[in-house]
Chain A
């Protein structure tokens, strides 16, 4: 045990310096008038909460929820069949197909966003093929972007559950007279629910907190809650208000994480 403790030391130092201390700092910032640059004395107050009456914060919160729910639904509708297909192909190329899904994730996300942005302007390289889109500034552009970014995070957890599923249960269902549709809804879908929950959360969270993606694909006109945090920290130096929003998002994330663990006790669907 003491040997294990020593090995874990770098981890504890890492977590304390880069996670615990910053989190405490953000928590204090969000509930006080602490000035981040002087870090002197401070008094607790709830001034930062006044931002929720600001129209741009309300608009951003609505946009975040609307667009991330829509993106999650689209990812589920596309992702489940893909995961189902991948889990059931007999071919020896299975690994190849799965890696096709993962490889794009390895390239820088900002580059992929900028690539979409270029294609969505009316004058683009697509003109060579007689195509021209004028999507910048529309929800469609953001939803295509989000779906392409986060689809793998929906597919992989569902795939890993379906892959490990005991196939004899499906055979038993069919033996007992269930047709394909009934087998799917009564056996396969309920058994894969842990994967669906993980996938949903892992798609929903990053799309709700995205900031570079909406900024580039909406031409700066659709604010998400991530953009508000960025503005508060980088442009208006309203760091206490930015911290408050961050803390609220963190609470939501922790809550959803507890939900994943509840559904998926072994944590097998977490990447």
Chain B
């Protein structure tokens, strides 16, 4: 009995130790799917003789859960603006030591992006990564462009088949903007009105990343998506040389988001985390990464290089904040409000 137990314990130990082979320093990174060029991560590993453990999640809330549970001591995470603030308020983030980021002196963050966050309380805790919008992906063969006047095309009764993103925050934001309210409203009557608008809209489908394919195959006429969904499909079609039968419509007012590097307090390797951020701020690396990811970079020099005919990123809606448009960022208000938005989405989903 004792013997068997010792064999079992040894086996367990072997399994555990196998996870931390060698004496190399290890950096734990938590990111969105397909949001970083892994070749560049490998290059970082070689250059600094370290090991990078890279995990992916699908939502800001999952990132928060992973940071709180701390089963993996993440050194770098990429939450969006409002989640950076929520994490900061809970004391889960380290302040960024900008002295450890010399690469920032060589490049400049785009003014419009900087203006979004520089006066926020969470600015010292983040370094911007990419930014984008939410908007409406539509099929150019089935949607009359004259109907694209604003958010009303999703909410007013019409003959179009409309897909809604299965996300409480984004679907509610679309409803608020349609009604002319602020996306961050916490007025009970305005939230009730948004609920009624969503129920009334009777969306044909609620889904996530599969929405874009459904629009392209004409199973939907239009759908709420992130700018990256559109850009991904655009590049894919461009590369394959297929006809592009879809377009991205951004109403005059929409949400803009900035995903950022943050260093959680659970990090056991804060210095290396700064090296990692510094590495990805370097012009060459940032350019290669922006080409891989496809979203609009926040670094002016990289943008200026890519948004030319030569590089092929000189397309409409690549830049998320054109002059004369109105863009709002989400804010973290409270958990109660977020639960209310989820109720609103559930009510809309189960209403028909």
Identify the A interface with B (CB < 8 A): 6, 9-10, 13, 37, 54-56, 59-60, 63, 121-123, 136-137, 219-223, 231, 234-238
Q: Check A37–B68 contact: CB distance below 8 A.
A: yes
Given contacts A37-B68, A234-B62, A235-B168, contact A137 B350 (CB under 8 A): no
Given contacts A235-B342, A236-B339, contact A60 B350 (CB under 8 A): yes
**Stretch from B105-113, B202-210, B310-318 forming part of the interface with A:** B202-210
Q: Check A219–B342 contact: CB distance below 8 A.
A: no
Q: Check A123–B217 contact: CB distance below 8 A.
A: yes
Q: Mark B295-316, 1 if CB is under 8 A from A, else 0.
A: 0000000000000000000000
A221 to B352, CA, bound (A): 7
Q: Check A121–B204 contact: CB distance below 8 A.
A: no
Q: Check A137–B69 contact: CB distance below 8 A.
A: no
Across the interface, name the chain B residue whose C-beta is closest to A121.
Answer: B219
Question: Is B325 at the interface (CB under 8 A from chain A)?
Answer: no
Across the interface, name the chain A residue whose C-beta is closest to B65.
Answer: A237
Give the size of the chain B interface in residues (CB under 8 angstroms). 30
**Which residues on B sit within 8 Å (CB–CB) of A122?**
219
User: Using a CB-CB cutoff of 8 Å, which residues 46-61 of chain B contact chain A?
Assistant: 59, 61
User: Using a CB-CB cutoff of 8 Å, which residues 310-352 of chain B contact chain A?
Assistant: 335, 338-339, 342-343, 346-347, 349-350, 352
**Which residues on A sit within 8 Å (CB–CB) of B275?**
none
Choose among A13, A56, A219, A237 the residue that contacts B343 (Cβ–Cβ < 8 A).
A56
Identify the B interface with A (CB < 8 A): 1, 4-5, 8, 59, 61-62, 65, 68-69, 166, 168, 204-207, 214, 217-219, 335, 338-339, 342-343, 346-347, 349-350, 352
The binding surface of chain A is classed by DSSP as loop
Q: Check A222–B61 contact: CB distance below 8 A.
A: no
Instruction: Enumerate 28 A-B pairs (CB-CB under 8 Å) in ascending A order.
Output: A6-B1, A9-B8, A10-B8, A13-B8, A37-B65, A56-B343, A56-B350, A59-B350, A60-B350, A123-B219, A137-B204, A137-B205, A219-B204, A219-B205, A220-B166, A221-B206, A221-B349, A221-B352, A223-B346, A231-B342, A231-B346, A234-B62, A235-B59, A235-B61, A236-B339, A236-B342, A237-B335, A238-B339
